[in-house]
Chain A
Amino acid sequence: MTSGPILRLDDVSVRYEGTLAVDGVQLEVERGDVLAVLGPSGCGKSTLLRAIAGLEPISAGRITFDGEDLAGRPTHRRGFALMFQDGQLFGHLSVARNVGYALRLRRLGRAAVNARVSELLELVGLSGFEDRMPATLSGGERQRVALARALAVDPRLLLLDEPLSALDASLRQSLAADLRDILHTAGTTALMVTHDHDEAFAVAGRIAVMFDGSVVQQGPIAQVWASPEAPRTASFLGYARVLTGASARLVAEAAGLRAGGQLALRRSALRVAETGVLEGVVEQVTSTPEQLRLVVDVPGAGRLDAVARLDERLVVGESVHLSVDATRVAQMSV
C-alpha cells in the first residue's frame, strides 16, 4: 500500500467544445477522505468529475489513482462509482436489482448478491424496499437507492454529482448527515461536486473551491472556511458581506482581531449586546423563527448585517450596540 494521496490530479485540463472547461487543476484526495469540490454552476466542476470517471478525455495533465496513471483506462474498468443528482436509477429494474447491478456484473452468486443487497438497503435505511420499482419511490428514497447501488461493490472511489441538490431542505439536511455517516462507516474515499456550501460542509472533510475552470483554494474544510482566499470565495462560502479598508479595520478591532486585509462577515457575526463596542442605527428589521435579522448603519463601517434575540423588540431608527463574534468572521490577506 502506498502512502500519501490516493487520487492525484496533476495540472489537469479538459477542453470541451472548444473552451477550456477545466484549466490546470491540481487536486489530491487522501484514502478514506471525502473531498467536496465547491463552485457555481458552469465552473467546470462536473466536467472535472466526469474526467475523473473517465467519461471525458483530458486534454492535458495526468490523473493517477493509487499510483497508477488512469489514462486509457475506460470508465467501467476504473472501479469507481458515480452517483447523480437525480439518482439515474434504471427504471425497468426493481430496487434490489438496481442495487445488485454491479454485483451481478461481477458474477456473484445469487445468495451473495441478495445478502449484500439487504445489507446495503439496511445501511441506507430502506430495508424491505427490495421489490419496489424506482417510479414508486420518493426523491429521497431514490437517492438512497442510488447510494446503495454505488456502494455495492466497495468502489475505490465514489464520485458524487450534486447528490442532494434535488431534495427539499429538511430532507437534504438529514440525508447529508446520513451520507456522511455511511461514507465514514464504509471507509469510502469520495469526491463530491456541489454548488451548495451547506451540503459540502455537512458531508466533506476537505474542500476545493473552483471558479472558471480553476481550483482557487483547497484544504481542510474548517481552514478554508476560516480564511477564504478572495471575496468571491467568501461569498460563495456563505459570507454575507466582505469589508475592506477602514470599515474592515473597525470591525476587526471590535472583534479583537489583528487589523489588516479584508474581512468577511457571516450574517450572524454582529449581535446586539449592551456590551458591544460598535454602535449604529437600525435601518431594517426582519423576524425569523429563531432571531431578528437587522441591517444596522454603523458610522465608519457602513451598513452591516446583524442579529438580535427575538425578545429585543427593536424598531427602525433605534440606536443599538453590537458585539462581534470572532468565529463568524474570516480574515483575508490582500
Chain B
Amino acid sequence: MNRRLLGLAALAAGPVVVLGLFFVLPVTGMVSRGFFVDGQFAPGAVWEVLTRPRVARVLAFTVGSATAGTVLSLLLGLPAAYVLSRLELPGRRVVRALLLVPFVLPTIVVGVAFRQLLGEGGPLGFLGWEQTPVAIVLGLAFFNASVVIRTVGAAWESLDPRPGEAAAALGATPVQVLRTVTWPALRSSVVSSASVVFLFCATAFGIVLTLGGLRHATVETEIYLLTTNLYDLPAAAALSVLQLVVVVVLLAVTARFRTTSAAVQRRPFVPRRPARHDAPALLATALLLLYVAAPLVTLVSGSLRVGGEWSLGNYRALTTTGEYASLPVPVTEALATSLRTAVDATWMAVGVGLLLAVVVTRRSRSTAERRLRSGLDGLFMLPLGVSAVTLGFGLLVTLDSGVLDLRNSPLLVPIAQALVALPLVVRTLVPVLAGIDDRQRQAAASLGAGAWRTLLTVDVPVVWKPLLAACGFAFAVSLGEFGATAFLAREGAPTLPVVIFRLLGLPGAMNYGMALAASVVLAVTTAAVMLVVERLRVPSMGAL
C-alpha cells in the first residue's frame, strides 16, 4: 500500500465511518430485528411476507408510480431546464429559486393544497383525479421537477454550444441537434438526476398517503404501517430488504451512465435571446410554472383568510403558541430551531460530501480501484432509498450503549437530515470535480504545491461555487425534512415542519390558518436561501 492510497483511504475513512455508524449500522440493526424471533434466527417469517400477494402489489405500485413520477418530472423539468439555463429571460434566477420551493414544503401541506384543487369541491374536481394514481404522480412531479431543473440545467449551462452550431451548419434541424449532439452530452446528468428523482419518488411517504387515499400503498407507507401500527417487524424487515434490493439494482443500472468520462471543457456561456423554435420549451415552462404555482397560490390565499375575510391574523399568531397555547413553542421559535438544525445538517452533509467527492473523483490507477470508487459513490446514494422509519427506529435500537448512546443527542436530527441531503451534495460536486483536467493538479504539484495547496489552487476555485449551491440544497432539504425528524427525540425543540404537522392535527380555524401561514414562512425562507445561492453562482461552473 503506497502513500497515495493511504492518503485516499484516510480521506475516505471519515465519510465511511459516518455512513457506517449512522446508516449501515442502524438499518441492519433494525432489519435484523425482523430476522430474529425470540433470539432465534428465523428467516422463514421474512420469506413468508415476501410471498404475500399484497407485497407484490405494493412493490409493483411503488415501482410503477415512481417510474411515472420520474418520467413526468423529466417531461416537465427538461424543457424548463433548457429555458432557464440557455435563454436570456427576465427574472430567470428568481424563477429558478421559486421552483425549488415545492421541494421543501411539508407534504402534508402540499397534500391539503392539492386536494383543495383536485378534490370534489376544487376547481379541478371535475377531472375526477382525486384518490387516483394520477394524483399521486402529479404530486410526485410537483416535488421533484425542480431537482431535474437544477441538476440538468447546470450541465446544460456549461455545455459548449459550438458542436451544436457545427451540426446546425451541416444541416441538422434543432430536433436533430438535440438528439445527436445535445442529448449525448447531457445524458449522464439526465440519468443522474432521474435516479435521484426516482429514489425520492419511491420513498415518498406523505404525498402518497394524502393524494392516493388508502387504495394505493407503497413500500414506504407499508413499512410505516407495519412498524408503528402492527408492530410486525419481520414484515417490515422484509419490505426494507426489498427496498434496498430495488435501490441497489437501480444504482447499478444507472452507475454506468453516471460516470463522467472525459474532462469537460468549461467555458463561460452567455444566454441567448429566445428564438422561434424555443416556443414549445417556453410553453412547457409556463405550464410548469402554472402547475407549481396553483397549489402555492391556494396555500398563500388560505393563509391570508381569517373567518372568511382577508387578514394577516394568521401571521401575527406565529409568535404565539396558538389560540389555546397548544404548541410547545411559538412558531417563530420553531423556525429558529429549524434554521439552527439546518446549519448543522448543512456543514455535516457538505463536509462529508466534499471529502467523498474528492475521493471518488481522484484518478484511479487500476480497474479494481475504479470499481471501489464507484461502489463508494453508489453506497452514499443509499440513504435516499431507505425508509425513514427503518432508519429512525434503527438509530434508536443500535446507538444505545456507551459513548455511542446518541439516541437523545440533539445532533441526531441534523445527522439524519444530513444523510438525506448527502446524495444531493455528492451528485452536485462529483461532476464538477470529475470535470477538472487532472493535469492541472499535476502541473501544480510539479511546481512545488503539496496536496493541500494543489486542492486550493486547482479544485477549490472551480468547486467553491457549486459547493455553495450544495450548501443551499442541503440547507433546503434540512428545512423541509419531516420523515426522519418526526421520529427522533428532541428536547422541546420541534422544527417548523413538525409544528406545522401538529397544527394541522388540531381542529379550529386558527390552527389551520397558522399552519398555512407557517408553511408560507417555510417556503419564503427556502426561496430566500435559494435566491442567495443563485446570486452567488457562476453560470459556467454551477452544477445545481
Contacts and interface: CB of A to CB of B under 8 A. Distances in A.
A75 B441 CA distance: 11
Nearest to B458: A90
A50 B4 CA distance: 15
Given A57-B4, A102-B448, A82 B443 contact: yes
A80 B444 CA distance: 11
B367 A17 contact: yes
A76 B2 CA distance: 17
B185 to A, nearest CB: 21
Interface in A37-76: 50, 53-57, 72, 74-76
Contact of A90 (B2, B4, B453, B457): B457
B446 A76 contact: yes
Interface in B398-453: 437, 439-440, 442-450, 453
A2 B138 CA distance: 78
Nearest to B437: A88
B266 to A, nearest CB: 8
- Between A18, A76, A91, A101, the greatest number of chain B beta carbons within 10 A of the residue's beta carbon is seen for A76
Contacts of A74: 3, 445, 450
A76 B453 CA distance: 10
A75 B268 CA distance: 32
A81 B440 contact: no
B366 interface: yes
Contacts of A1: none
B461 A90 contact: yes
Contacts of A79: 448
Contacts of B447: 76, 81-82, 101-102, 105, 149-150, 152-153
Interface in A170-222: none
A57 B448 contact: no
B446 A105 contact: no
A246 to B, nearest CB: 50
B365 interface: yes
Given A18-B367, A88-B439, A92-B461, A55 B2 contact: no
A159 interface: yes
B4 A101 contact: no
Contacts of B442: 50, 53, 55, 75, 82, 84, 88
Contact of B440 (A57, A88, A153): A88
Interface in A88-102: 88, 90-92, 101-102
A72 B3 CA distance: 8
Contacts of A82: 442-443, 445-447
- Between B2, B446, B448, the greatest number of chain A beta carbons within 10 A of the residue's beta carbon is seen for B446
Contacts of A313: none
Contacts of B444: 76, 90, 101
Interface in A14-45: 16-18
A106 interface: yes
Nearest to B367: A17
Contacts of A80: 446
Given A17-B367, A18-B367, 16 more contacts: A53-B445, A54-B445, A57-B2, A57-B4, A74-B450, A77-B448, A80-B446, A82-B443, A82-B445, A82-B447, A88-B439, A88-B440, A88-B443, A101-B457, A102-B448, A150-B446
Interface of A: 16-18, 50, 53-57, 72, 74-84, 88, 90-92, 101-102, 105-106, 135, 149-150, 152-153, 159
Interface of B: 2-4, 268, 365-367, 437, 439-440, 442-450, 453-454, 457-458, 461-462
7 contacts: A50-B442, A72-B3, A74-B445, A88-B437, A90-B440, A106-B448, A153-B448
Across chains A and B, which 9 residue pairs bring their CB atoms closest together, nearest first?
A: A82-B446, A75-B445, A102-B447, A92-B461, A88-B443, A76-B445, A88-B439, A105-B448, A76-B448
